Chains A and B, each alone.
Chain A
Amino acid sequence: MIKTMLKASALSLALAASLGVTGAPAFAQEVVYNRGNDTDPSSLDPHKTSTVAEAHVLRDLFEGLVVYNAAAEVIPGVAESWETSEDGLVYTFRLREDARWSNGDPVTASDFVFAFRRIQDPATAAGYANILHPIKNAEAINSGEMPKEELGARAIDERTLEITLANPTPYFIELLTHQTGLPLNQASVEEHGDAFTRPGNLVSNGAFMLDSFTPNDRIVMRKNPNFHDAENVQIDVVNFIPFEERATCVRRFEAGEVQSCSDLPSEQITELRERLGDQVRIAPYLGTYYLPVKVTKEKFADPRVREAMSMAIDRVFLADEIWQGTMVPAYSLVPPGINNYVEDAPTLEYADVDILDREDRAIALLEEAGVAAGELTVDLRYNTSENNKNTMTAVGEMLRNIGIESTLTEMEGATYFNYLKEDGDFDIARAGWIGDYNDPQNFLFLYESDNLGFNYPRWANEDYDRLMQQAETETDLAARAEILAEAERLFLSQVPAIPILYYTSKALVSPKLEGWEDNIMNVHGTRFLSLSN
């Protein structure tokens, strides 16, 4: 019986083909996109996430007030338009009429208010609640000093949302692209509690909806028929596959089992480029890799010593040889290509000087500071990872050229980051920062003196703090950019942390996958992609 049926369908297929009929619905195959991701999300509850891998998943499941398009430009999402009050403090969003949850309910302003209150509620223990702290009273609510109803966000009617800020925050719209700004379906969260993220329970408003989630295996999402732009969504099923081992993703990509990889092993880049050509995508990324120097230690107290070390580091060698071109030499803390910044962004003034001349100057600087050759020994500390190891080995070698001896100390991840944060007794460490939003403040705030969680060197500079304060209240974007640039110039003259590399986003993209545009935020919503055979 089965055999005959197969025959019959084969016949009709042949018939259809011969008649030139294409896409007969009975035979339409689902378009399935196997998408490599860095890891599994720690949760599908946007309030419990923080990483880039999680953002990729949530971007497909949910839609915020504004979203990034394929080129990482901010476009309207659930909000169709918005207005800002003159003092820059009140934003009024008009929501689109056809915004729907996957269960068919309309997406309303109160869904946003609910989500914004929930993320600030201390009981939620949201890891990234501070992203939305610019909203009025958010910080007080988050620390339990105020009831969450006091939050500066209210639903004027079903389709009008008003958000009041504590300070004018010129990058606020940019901020709302972050996963912390996503709405939640109040009814479903209240009904299921913590289990609202389970397949079957999760109600989402993005281009896709959750089908299943098998840890360490895949997250399956199906196209959401209620999505307002569903007709333009080309892919029916997305499988997000976690790859802790980047080389595994490359093998499965080459075997045709996945159509994109979200990261690549840098040690294979040269070969991959030869083999796969422009399927290898390396694009500038909003992130910096730097070496914090413990400035509170006697031996590093003199900025000249830090500057000398910074001069001696050959960033081109690190980027091209150690990282095989998957990093870019860095001469500033704020990566280039960022929004809301000055045209001619500050850099280390010796960026273009030849490394040998820089070494001469460095040796002279050390002499001025009273450090003789061989007198200074520094410990280079890093967390476990092949490239950190190779980078620090090379840095040690470069410091030796100016008469500074070094030792290497490796620590395993959780121990390492705890140690840095808790004012550990390191000399020079490594750290990196990927921007959460496209604004220089997101990099410069790292070195405010009261930012104990991030300011590993414990560098305290009153002028810097004052400039950062000033930038916070400045509403004129150009003037604010000038102030921030002034702060960065100060930072670079003191180098409490030595910027050495900018990150790039690395991906493998199959030629079958269309619509993948390289961009500085490394965002690639599946709704903008299509898959051909």
Chain B
Amino acid sequence: MILDIKERLGKTKYDIDKSYAHITVDDRICEKCPHHFCVMACPAQCYTMQDGKLNFQYEDCVECGTCSIACDQGSVKWNFPKAGKGVIYKYG
């Protein structure tokens, strides 16, 4: 019953906008970030640390907005996806 986060995200439906990332991060700011709290806060594991460097991907984003508050360094730029793209809940 206990599932890895990737497996759980696999249950959720998306229509990914391959041409537009609705969230962007500024690598230069992330490099100097003292906490990388986004890695803990994001419920969809969009933020991970790889070899001491922050890695971000928007494809699994469930559009909760948590990272826009978690990031207090001014790196995260948050917009809504366009034209209904992104997460599509079947239950909600």
Q: Do A and B bind each other?
A: no
Give residues in A with beta carbon < 8 Å to B: none
Give residues in B with beta carbon < 8 Å to A: none
